[in-house]
Structure 1
Amino acid sequence: MFNWLFGRDKESSREDVKEALGRIVGIAPQVRLANRYETRLAPVVGKTLDHARELVGALPAPRDATPSAWADDPYLRAKFATPDDVTRVIGESNEVRGWFDDNIAADHAFAVLGATLVERRVLVSAVEGGAMRSDVARTSVGFDDKRMRFCCGTDEALRQELEQRIVEQFVLEAMSRVAQNEARRDALQEHRALLTARMQILGRRGAGMSSLIASTDLAGDSTRLQRDFEENEAALAALGSLADSIETQLQTIVDLLAEPAALISVTRRELCLNQMNLLMDERCDEPHADIAIQLAHLPTQPPQTRAVEIVRIARRDVPPGGVAFEEAARLVL
């Protein structure tokens, strides 16, 4: 009643928060067993969704990813080597194919095009100081590992899906950290067993004839072992007990969702590129194109930075299913 009177249940009543809570328990079902898990998660989930909405809302309007637009679109030319490269990336996306198969009447789909920005120093021929030189250092820009993911029927639906996917990524990161703690617990327990065995052996030294060959610094060895044992016990205590694992999972998720800006962000970078994808001075005289890319810093293991944008894909540009298999067979042979 007090939650209702003072508006403390506002976050949990949001439809996007409800959907996110469902996705969280789908990834980490054990958190349902934690005390008041929905009440504790709802505020931080709302905060993360608000942050995700700002990031996704800053992405530019969808761009048509079609081979026919490659020649006139500097963004497509920067990311794809040829028009056929556009077709190949579309054809390699199982999500794009699957979405069109499930939506027979749709002519277009919206997806996220992600790629890894790669910059290399190269030597090229250029006029410098009034003379032609063949060893001028330039920075070459490329986009590797291009993938199209997260298909939806509209731009709005895709942006909402991206917001939910960001929440899912935070939960995956939390579960990864929990798994790392569990692995560390196992290693500490094995080390404790080893220390215990060594202390028992040390306690038996000096009996019978072994005193003739045993180390004379038994007190020093015992002190060092005791110190190691205490440090091991302190490290185990800091990880908590196995009985608290469910609470640990929930609290780890809450802690990450409470500070979303610390783990995920999107930055804008402007590039001045010539026709060979070489970085140029903005004041240069040769033909060039000014493009802006969005770099998403993702909380993956290990952390990654991907150039992302929303694209619109036409059904007519999806190659036949056999094309990918033929290309794979050609590469194998």
Structure 2
Amino acid sequence: MQILSRVLPESNARNGRCDDELDRLLARVLRINPCLQRAHGHEEHLRAALASSAGFLNRVVSQLPLPRVLNAQSWASDPCLRAFFDTTDQVAATLANARELTRIFQASRPPDHAYAVLAMEMAQSTPHLRACQTDRTALQKEIVDCLVDQLALEALGMIVTKADRRDMLECELALFSKRVAILKRLGIGMGTVVGSAPQDSAERRRLEALVDGSDHDLRGLGLLPEAFERQVQRFCSVLLRADRHIRVGTKPAPVDRSCGLSAVASAHAESPAPLTVFRIADNPSREFAATLVRVAMVDMPRPMNACDQPPRLFG
């Protein structure tokens, strides 16, 4: 009995954490497409699909390499970091532009270290530090959130394709197409990590107002109940096969960054470092390199100026 008294509360606590996570992820999905709430039994179906995708995504994120120390000294000795930066000046500039890191270190009781995702589109050469948190666990949670947003955004995009729009009038199709465009401009999903989210606060507020207006317009849709149920089916099909839409692997870091991360390392150059690469089956598909980093407050450029609040990520 004493054993059960210890085990059962622990099991209940785990189940409670799981339920809280699914509730939080469900709210994010419904924020992407509020029309799903108009389908009968949407919560049950979406929660089951989210349980599957969350399990996969949590495993993927937990297997990412340990955070690398990011500063001028580590850049000189870390081939992976040199794939993102050509010089120590670029390291300093990226740190100076990391508004979320600055906000964390300007808190009344700032931590000694913070964690972030260093990411860059494979075909570009501009690294970004985003999804910043005070501890590694919180950072991993935010990455999972962004990946779920990405899956939901992809499912919404599929709804406006020919295969899914047989129940829609042109005006209804236009509303969904407009919403997809606005969400992408806001950097929802992995756009937040790779730097496509707007940094200008006025532009963010304008786009967020457009999302709120889209919510209002979608509430007026006169689609048949079967159409909303098919939308839930589409979202569930994407969430249940998250491994088809988000793939994570490694590629050798290029020696020459002048052509972007898609450049191929020379066979006669130094041994390239493996880079973690995310492939997002968006339209079109995208690849970007990413690594977790740890930044010390003492390594942040001085002075640190006041900064805007980070982008709102649907909760």
Q: Same fold (TM over 0.5)?
A: yes
Distance 1:292 1:254, change over 3 A: same
2:137 aligned partner, one-letter code: E
**Residue number in structure 2 paired with 1:317:** 299
Does the 8 Å contact 2:80/2:253 carry over to 1?
no
Supply the distance in 1 between the matched residues of 2:108 and 2:119 (Cα, whole angstroms).
23
Q: Does 1:171 align with 2:152?
A: yes
Q: Does 1:306 align with 2:306?
A: no
Number of residues of Structure 1 aligned to a counterpart in Structure 2: 237
More strand by share: 1
> Could you list the per-position Cα deviations for residues 253-303 of structure 1 after superposition, in whole angstroms to 9, with x for gaps in the alignment?
11111111111000112347489997233xx5x7x2431101101243432
Identical-residue share of aligned pairs (%): 24
> Could you list the per-position Cα deviations for residues 114-158 of structure 1 after superposition, in whole angstroms to 9, with x for gaps in the alignment?
11234xxxxxxxxxxxxxxxxxxxxxxxx6121111111111221
**Residue number in structure 1 paired with 2:87:** 82
Instruction: Map residues 251-290 of structure 1 onto 2, 5 A cutoff.
Output: 251-271=233-253, 273=255, 279-281=265-267, 284=268, 288-290=270-272
1:70 aligns with one of 69, 72, 75? 75
Secondary structure, aligned partner of 2:293: strand
Q: Which moved more, 1:55-64 or 1:102-111?
A: 102-111
2:139 aligned partner, one-letter code: L
**Residue number in structure 2 paired with 1:220:** none
Instruction: Map residues 62-141 of structure 1 onto 2, 5 A cutoff.
Output: 62-102=67-107, 104-118=109-123
1:279 aligned partner, one-letter code: A
1:243 aligned partner, one-letter code: L
> Could you list the per-position Cα deviations for residues 5-41 of structure 1 after superposition, in whole angstroms to 9, with x for gaps in the alignment?
xxxxx89953322221122223323322321112111
Secondary structure, aligned partner of 1:79: coil
Distance 1:153 1:34, change over 3 A: same
> Could you list the per-position Cα deviations for residues 165-223 of structure 1 after superposition, in whole angstroms to 9, with x for gaps in the alignment?
21111111122222455699555999xxxxxxxxxxxxxxxxxxxxxxxxxxxxxxxxx
> Could you list the per-position Cα deviations for residues 22-73 of structure 1 after superposition, in whole angstroms to 9, with x for gaps in the alignment?
2222332332232111211122111111111222122110001112322222
**Residue number in structure 1 paired with 2:277:** 295
Greater C-alpha radius of gyration = 1
Supply the distance in 2 between the matched residues of 1:68 and 1:107 (Cα, whole angstroms).
18
Supply the distance in 2 between the matched residues of 1:27 and 1:275 (Cα, whole angstroms).
36
2:65 aligns with one of 60, 66, 70? 60
2:159 aligned partner, one-letter code: V
Supply the distance in 1 between the matched residues of 2:264 and 2:34 (Cα, whole angstroms).
49
**Residue number in structure 2 paired with 1:238:** none
2:140 aligns with one of 159, 173, 193? 159
Distance 1:72 1:103, change over 3 A: farther
**Residue number in structure 2 paired with 1:147:** 128
**Residue number in structure 2 paired with 1:35:** 40
**Runs of 4+ that moved beyond 6 A:** 274-278
Gaps of 5+ in 2: 1-14, 174-221, 308-315
TM value normalised by structure 1: 0.62
Distance 1:107 1:163, change over 3 A: same
**Residue number in structure 2 paired with 1:224:** none
Secondary structure, aligned partner of 1:61: coil
Secondary structure, aligned partner of 1:70: helix
Supply the distance in 1 between the matched residues of 2:234 and 2:172 (Cα, whole angstroms).
22
Supply the distance in 1 between the matched residues of 2:166 and 2:97 (Cα, whole angstroms).
36
2:143 aligned partner, one-letter code: L
Supply the distance in 1 between the matched residues of 2:155 and 2:286 (Cα, whole angstroms).
16
- Aligned-pair CA distance for 1:242: 2.4
Secondary structure, aligned partner of 2:64: coil
Gaps of 5+ in 1: 1-9, 119-142, 191-240, 325-333
1:293 aligned partner, one-letter code: L
Supply the distance in 2 between the matched residues of 1:87 and 1:105 (Cα, whole angstroms).
20
